[in-house]
Structure 1
């Protein structure tokens, strides 16, 4: 097994080549590197670059794709010369390097350095105080020992007292923040002023925002104006002032340090009074008006200080985090040096939360250099608001102004050097409580004093998420000086001192062992830390020193001001300078990457897949209008860069790529005989195709980040032109040949792609019923469903290509052969000519049915005769054994049906209770000579014969669908009769052999004996009569006496003998029978009553005596 190795380095000048000098470009630690084979499987272990940026991945053979994951805020710096975060290599290999950079580290050439300056007095008083320099610049590369005056940028009457400074590269603007310093006045914006200075030939300055205007909800910003009240300062820059309220408020009210996010969009500034971090959304380019919506505030963690308070001040944006520094001041009664402590906290601007565990945390109870060799202060002391406890040394000047000092630590600056070490700058608070030859405070306000500062620089070694304080002058393997002037008895930056003669002609000695004023920075790649210092060259001056980050020694010094006037226009050995800021150019931005041939059509740049040269990539604005184009090189690489250069194949120089702006990239939809491959196969954009087909182009939309936020993930893949066929087999529950919304796909069906008798590919439908045959070359195909794979009871629908159904929703398979229609694929075409996803198959489980007709058989012949209508409202039940499995009611046409029946034996039952009054089931089931389609199939109990359903039969087979289970209903009629006879023996019983009487009129009445008869009959020769076709009801029979033969009457012997079939039933008085009730639906006398007889006799007289 072989290995691949290389180095990831910080490419400060973004030329893609690692340099050891000018700039020094160290390795980048913490980059993860992974290798993937052609199957997109990781091979070898994940490597992580060490402190030198080196990595090695062992256990690799053949071609691999390497993926580099850079730390937050780092980007591949130069795609053409320094490669990108995706590399292709063949093991074994060395030197597989990557150039990377944080855009905020880009600072080519010799930039200018900006510094805020303090001018004594009231800048708004109309005097010389207002015309003094408050913001200046000078070249970073200025000569050593220079005293050349810096270039003016803003007067004191334009910004007032300001400390914090930040520079927006994209717009060449400097932002400065108001700062409370004794003897120096603020502008009308007061403690909350933040100013913008537009650099250029004639710099202009304006107020950006007064943060105190957001004193109400939701921000409730309070900077402590009530603490200082009204201050009285001189209009003349050489005037003196007591300014008593400011003395104790320094470092406690107003604004502290300020920084800008690496993307240039957000300012962060410290609210000293409320101990909060304030973020201000300024945008790129910077706004001119700040609203409440642009402001957010975040409470800074309080470490819990003993005998003092936590006082934040320093702030620095670095590699995606905001670092805030604070000190425990020991300012309360009883506070001692042992209570002094420093903390640094990290704020995540994305999560908008502080990590409440400090990333740096150490005591300030250490020996340090003397402020002045003739005086005592050689350590940090607790904060004080009492002028009288300051140390006063010998008077200097005429009249003598005592050296006044008390080193009080205020953590004013956080910086980071190239190896990731943290440098903390502590300004001496007393440098802002004191001036140069200015008035004391309180009881000493009638005397003049000159302040001396004793700040300090400390370096902390980078660890895993935390930093460790230097000790004995040693840090990160580097050796400083064991001079007993720092933690552990030494300090790394040991040249922050001023040496000179205490007396004329005397020896050169370290007069001031601590000269740091309070601000510093490292120009990335320079190996140098620049810091503001007291007495860089001459006494009573302020300027800068350059310190080696390797040795801690100074390399050059520059003097910005020197206080020579007794009035103290500038601040002598007090803190006369504020924050330093570099004016670096915005880092160029580059976008692009690679166009490749995706031979295996998986949408991923696999090892061994080559780039495609000659593809034109078009950069467009958000509307699609062309900006410029570039043609890919032989490796398929292309880049658009804002770097100035001469265009070449694969790279377009000088392209204006605005920060945070939407653009489009376009490539042709085809390249030769190749077409765009699938989009976003990996989902992480590192090594997949990002161009989606849009008409004749592949397109993507992008939004740039901040300046220098290079994006090398815009890859485009082409694959050999192929088509596809699919895609859906579904359960067509209603067998209509259409994909209805509630019908689900059928999993597990085996589908074959065939050409003639040749099976080219096989697929099985997934859980959603989807199948597919991708990567098809030009040709004619068919798809076949293997019927043996269908679920039990399922068949292919016979509703192929159902009329009126869209091709995307219909069924395309022949139910007999299982084959689809012929499908022609043209991979270079579009739409379904290329990819046909409409070859769908409907399955259904064939079911049977039973029906269907209940009719009124008016002639009760058991046959559906013409004119006999169906009977609505009859309840019909479907039985399986004795269980009712379904129920239906005949419609207006007498039809019923039971559908969706599985193979089984059934019986149909008519609910007799649902029959119309007077109706019964025909007594003529299965009438002889009547076809089954027309006969009645139900017995008198309402049950049909047993019916077997076999769903395997064709739909037209009555064994599957039986529409002939019909029922005849009829309304039966009754009758009344039947005999009038001559009762010779007048006993009321038919027993004397007498014969019937003809021509007797008999009437039938219904309901009552009143009214008119409903029918009449006349007895025949045998004496018989009869009334037929009678409905259910109550009837009366009447013998019309006027029709009786002469001499005959109705017998008085009514209802005698106990045998109703032989007696006489008619009243001799009225001629009416008793009530006769008929119900033709019943049997016997209830239906037909032939027992209503009448006896006649001829009464005889007698003679005798």
Structure 2
């Protein structure tokens, strides 16, 4: 008997067996008309709802999807830019009508199946199905559904806390706050509309820029910054601090070596005029798994890696030289910002133009690197910064329209005009690198000149005279590299057009400080800057719509108290801005099915086992979760049905051990576990193993890290013809 005839015969056995057990009667029949098509949408999910939110979860392009059916039907396609692909079986083959559809993960170990809805294909159109589905296309029926993949690092809870740094005009240490926290949704005025929580003081940290959040253990890291008229903390120019939020206790974590030796001076701190951007520390980030802390040393232009799980660190785990991307002079290369996405690190910096004084030599560069080895790859972004920008001041001879090459002097003239009154001369630092869910890159720029200004009365630089001139740009992928919105990228023109309306916080353009809080479950993006809610000489957070870049109508949050000007006026009075996202939750499970072919592989046309009880036990054998399979044979365990929540890196056992399921009238009456772990595709084989002397199948497992969902825990059953 041929293999096909064998399968037909076994399918007949299944029909008889199901009729005998009283579960389901489904006569086998093949349609006479052509089968229909299936349209699959694959999205990049960012939450654990099991529902698709189009505004936040874009389609994933280039994902391979397969359609498998009878008579050796195997059709493949890849998703288009919107994440969809339509597959139809060939018309010249025998048509069984039933097909298996499988999404092939393009980045195993980086992306994981998104949280699936328990309704699956039987739910509403916005419910997310499993990455492996079974569809009936008989009689010309067309089926459409949405499924998802996700990166655990993308996850965040709604209205998560934000943490930012406040920079003060002091160099001796005191009780002025340097780290504060407030809810993402906070708007209005500190002390009036919302209460901001003070976390650390000048005495504990000195002046800070970088902030990194370790969601694995709930600690905040912060790092020293070189800023005129301010002071370092106990760790000096290389100080990295760690804050236990639960105890609100901040201590020195480590001191990065060779971070610069220029001392702050009293009064106007004139000796420090040349130091910002060249000494102390830049970007600070913790990897998504919470294991490593990376920081950029601005003085030796190296990337330092520390153990992010340690209480303190006496030395780095590794130090990596940052390659010069080809600036006119080696001294022009100024690395600063960091970002992580899908397991890859990104370091951002600028060619400062300092050696030539030419605006045409200003460039923004982003270098990807492997966090495990520190090996850098060629730049994915290398863009000129000579695009036109609006005036920061709004009027006057030194209004700061544009980016300017770095200098070590205080400007007295601009574009041939003598400076007077308010002045701006923005010198670019690439402070942070982020990524949207659709793969576009976000670049937060800080104005170095604002950190070279003084908060004290000084000749040529009275208090509040300097306006900071930062920016937030978007870059979109083009043939493997990224093009800035201001250089006609992202479909924008003319040159200089920005996607985000960062240029206006109240009245002034270019008011951002390079703090950027991207929570992918929110419709807005948070940034730090001055005049966040149209109040003069204020500093705080402003919010932008991620969909179109426009200002949030609710404005932002002003951090300095009412009637108290910002320490640096409209200069830079804040550093980084970080969103404190929880660890991603977990989901495990998937499908129970009848396997009359006894091959241990889920084939099209095989029927699901509905109403089967599935138990989850912890390491000690305690029952921690119970669920039953749906009409499609699917089951899932996650925080919604596991006592205490489903924990990462934890041993569990799944058992199908409800005696009534195997008794007469039960869904598994006269069925026993089929072959297990057959083949090399864990998504289609059975995992159930019956221990010696038992007929109840089980599977011992250890969960992965946060968000590393496992939808391969399937259980197949063959008909035994027995009477147990």
TM-score range, shorter chain: 0.7 to 0.9
8 Å Cα contact 2:340/2:434 also seen in 1? no
After superposition, what is the alpha-carbon deviation per residue over 1:100-153, rounded to whole angstroms, capped at 9, x for unaligned? Answer: 4333333343222221111221353xxxxx211111122322346887463322
Query: Which residue in the other structure is 2:197 paired with?
Result: 151
Query: Which residue in the other structure is 1:47 paired with?
Result: 77
Q: How far, CA to CA, are the matches of 2:413 and 2:241 in structure 1?
A: 34
Q: Return the match for 1:95 from 144, 168, 177.
A: 144
1:342 equivalenced with 2:364 (yes/no): yes
8 Å Cα contact 1:390/1:405 also seen in 2? no
8 Å Cα contact 1:664/1:701 also seen in 2? yes
8 Å Cα contact 2:368/2:379 also seen in 1? yes
Query: Which residue in the other structure is 2:5 paired with?
Result: none
After superposition, what is the alpha-carbon deviation per residue over 1:137-178, rounded to whole angstroms, capped at 9, x for unaligned? Answer: 223223468874633222222222221112233544322222
CA shift, 1:614, in A, is 4.7
The normalised TM-score by structure 2 is: 0.82
Q: Return the match for 2:480 from 465, 475, 480.
A: 465
Query: Which residue in the other structure is 1:191 paired with?
Result: 237
After superposition, what is the alpha-carbon deviation per residue over 1:420-441, rounded to whole angstroms, capped at 9, x for unaligned? Answer: 221211111112122334446x
8 Å Cα contact 1:540/1:564 also seen in 2? no
Query: Which residue in the other structure is 1:490 paired with?
Result: 497
CA shift, 1:195, in A, is 2.3
1:364-763 matches, within 5 Å, as 364-372=385-393, 373-376=395-398, 377-387=400-410, 403-439=422-458, 450-471=465-486, 475-477=489-491, 488-498=495-505, 512-536=508-532, 537-555=534-552, 556-562=554-560, 570-622=567-619, 626-643=623-640, 652-668=641-657, 672-695=669-692, 696=694, 698-721=697-720
Q: How far, CA to CA, are the matches of 2:442 and 2:260 in structure 1?
A: 32
1:695-844 matches, within 5 Å, as 695=692, 696=694, 698-721=697-720
After superposition, what is the alpha-carbon deviation per residue over 1:51-71, rounded to whole angstroms, capped at 9, x for unaligned? Answer: 222211123542111111345
SS at 1:601's partner residue?
coil
Q: How far, CA to CA, are the matches of 2:587 and 2:40 in structure 1?
A: 23
After superposition, what is the alpha-carbon deviation per residue over 1:629-656, rounded to whole angstroms, capped at 9, x for unaligned? Answer: 434344332211014xxxxxxxx24542
SS at 1:554's partner residue?
coil
8 Å Cα contact 1:242/1:439 also seen in 2? no
SS at 1:431's partner residue?
helix
Please say which of residues 573-582 and 72-81 is displaced more in the overlay.
72-81
8 Å Cα contact 1:589/1:708 also seen in 2? yes
Query: Which residue in the other structure is 2:12 paired with?
Result: none
SS at 1:80's partner residue?
coil
Q: How far, CA to CA, are the matches of 2:566 and 2:469 in structure 1?
A: 21
Q: 1:711 to 1:557 in 2, by over 3 A?
A: same
Q: 1:135 to 1:387 in 2, by over 3 A?
A: same
8 Å Cα contact 1:662/1:701 also seen in 2? yes
After superposition, what is the alpha-carbon deviation per residue over 1:446-475, rounded to whole angstroms, capped at 9, x for unaligned? Answer: x76743211122211234532222247x65
Q: 1:144 to 1:465 in 2, by over 3 A?
A: farther
8 Å Cα contact 1:475/1:492 also seen in 2? no
Query: Which residue in the other structure is 1:27 paired with?
Result: 59
1:861-880 matches, within 5 Å, as none
SS at 1:191's partner residue?
helix
Query: Which residue in the other structure is 2:275 paired with?
Result: 249
SS at 2:450's partner residue?
helix
CA shift, 1:210, in A, is 0.8
8 Å Cα contact 2:654/2:700 also seen in 1? yes
1:36 equivalenced with 2:32 (yes/no): no
Q: 1:489 to 1:655 in 2, by over 3 A?
A: same
1:210 equivalenced with 2:229 (yes/no): no
8 Å Cα contact 2:592/2:608 also seen in 1? yes
CA shift, 1:389, in A, is 5.9
Q: 1:388 to 1:705 in 2, by over 3 A?
A: same
1:85 equivalenced with 2:131 (yes/no): yes
After superposition, what is the alpha-carbon deviation per residue over 1:800-845, rounded to whole angstroms, capped at 9, x for unaligned? Answer: xxxxxxxxxxxxxxxxxxxxxxxxxxx99xxxxxxxxxxxxxxxxx
Q: How far, CA to CA, are the matches of 1:94 and 1:583 in structure 2?
A: 40
8 Å Cα contact 1:543/1:557 also seen in 2? no
8 Å Cα contact 1:10/1:18 also seen in 2? no
After superposition, what is the alpha-carbon deviation per residue over 1:403-429, rounded to whole angstroms, capped at 9, x for unaligned? Answer: 354211100122223432212111111
Q: How far, CA to CA, are the matches of 2:616 and 2:144 in structure 1?
A: 33
1:323 equivalenced with 2:346 (yes/no): yes
Q: 1:525 to 1:174 in 2, by over 3 A?
A: same
Q: 1:569 to 1:492 in 2, by over 3 A?
A: closer
CA shift, 1:316, in A, is 1.0
Q: How far, CA to CA, are the matches of 1:390 and 1:604 in structure 2?
A: 76
1:267 equivalenced with 2:293 (yes/no): yes
CA shift, 1:32, in A, is 2.1
The normalised TM-score by structure 1 is: 0.55
Query: Which residue in the other structure is 1:799 paired with?
Result: none
CA RMSD of aligned residues (A): 3.2
Q: How far, CA to CA, are the matches of 1:564 and 1:521 in structure 2?
A: 24
8 Å Cα contact 2:538/2:569 also seen in 1? yes
Q: How far, CA to CA, are the matches of 1:683 and 1:523 in structure 2?
A: 37
* Bigger Cα Rg: 1
SS at 1:104's partner residue?
helix
After superposition, what is the alpha-carbon deviation per residue over 1:917-957, rounded to whole angstroms, capped at 9, x for unaligned? Answer: xxxxxxxxxxxxxxxxxxxxxxxxxxxxxxxxxxxxxxxxx
Q: How far, CA to CA, are the matches of 2:199 and 2:413 in structure 1?
A: 35
Q: How far, CA to CA, are the matches of 2:573 and 2:606 in structure 1?
A: 63
After superposition, what is the alpha-carbon deviation per residue over 1:569-598, rounded to whole angstroms, capped at 9, x for unaligned? Answer: 722222111111112333321111112222
Query: Which residue in the other structure is 1:16 paired with?
Result: 50
SS at 2:144's partner residue?
coil
Q: 1:559 to 1:33 in 2, by over 3 A?
A: same
Query: Which residue in the other structure is 2:101 paired with?
Result: 66
CA shift, 1:348, in A, is 2.9
In structure 1, the gaps of 5 or more residues are: 125-129, 213-221, 234-239, 396-401, 483-487, 501-511, 644-651, 722-776, 779-826, 829-1105
Q: How far, CA to CA, are the matches of 2:151 and 2:37 in structure 1?
A: 29
SS at 1:97's partner residue?
strand
Q: 1:288 to 1:665 in 2, by over 3 A?
A: farther
Higher RCO, Cα 8 Å, sep 6+: 2
Q: 1:493 to 1:657 in 2, by over 3 A?
A: same
Query: Which residue in the other structure is 1:281 paired with?
Result: 307
8 Å Cα contact 2:468/2:570 also seen in 1? yes
1:76 equivalenced with 2:73 (yes/no): no
CA shift, 1:327, in A, is 0.7
Query: Which residue in the other structure is 1:142 paired with?
Result: 186
Q: 1:383 to 1:525 in 2, by over 3 A?
A: same
Query: Which residue in the other structure is 2:6 paired with?
Result: none
Structure with greater strand percent: 1
Query: Which residue in the other structure is 1:231 paired with?
Result: 264
CA shift, 1:225, in A, is 3.0
SS at 1:225's partner residue?
coil
CA shift, 1:203, in A, is 2.5
CA shift, 1:98, in A, is 0.8
Q: How far, CA to CA, are the matches of 2:41 and 2:175 in structure 1?
A: 53
Aligned residues, how many?
652
8 Å Cα contact 2:50/2:115 also seen in 1? yes
Q: 1:720 to 1:54 in 2, by over 3 A?
A: same
8 Å Cα contact 2:155/2:581 also seen in 1? yes
